[in-house]
Structure formats: structure tokens, C-alpha cells
Amino acid sequence: MGEWKEREFKEHICKLIVEEGRVARELAREMELSDSTVYKWVSDYKAKKKREEAPEQYITPAELEKLKNRHEKELQDLKDQNEILKKAMHIFTKNPE
């Protein structure tokens, strides 16, 4: 089995157990795999998912300040757009006399 197909196969087995609720021991027997191998795959899969969900990020104070400034600018732009839309709505909803 090629490395790519092997990795895909392992991930499929892990998804069946972790996400579909299949019993690892039963699935291992169905697939003619050892229980310990499947448990190891599942353990690695869960660790990988956990790392992907909550990656640690270290940023410097300067990076934090840049991020803060960018978010403040985006917030101000959205507020400005909202005001323009309010004015446009008022103009277009006036009753012509």
C-alpha cells in the first residue's frame, strides 16, 4: 500500500471510531488489524485534531499592537459603511409628495 493510501486508510479507520462512534476493537477485527495498532492510530488522530483545533500562537507586543490597530480600522470602516447605508435607506424610503 502506498504511503498516501496508507495514511488515507488510517484516517478513515480513525474517523469511523472517533466521529462515527464505531467500537475500535470490533472494527480492528473486521479489518483484520491488531487492537493495539488501531488504538495507536486513534490516539495519534485525536492528538492531531487537538493540535489543529487549538494551535498555540506566540506573538510579540508589536504584532499585537498591529493586530489591534487593524481590527480598530476594520471596525471604524464597518461603522462608516453602516452610517452610509442608514442615510441611503432614509433617502430611498422617503415618501415623495
- Encode pLDDT of 33-53 as tens digits: 999 999 999 999 999 888 877
What is the predicted pLDDT for the residue at 44? 93
Contacts 24+ apart (CB under 8 A), 56-61: none
Q: Residue 70: is its pLDDT beyond 70?
A: yes
Pick the residue with more confidence: 52 or 86?
Answer: 86
Q: pLDDT at position 23, please?
A: 94
Residues 6+ apart with CB under 8 A from 59: 67
Confidence of residue 13 (pLDDT cuts 50, 70, 90): very high
Q: What pTM was computed for the model?
A: 0.53
The mean predicted confidence, pLDDT, of the chain is: 89
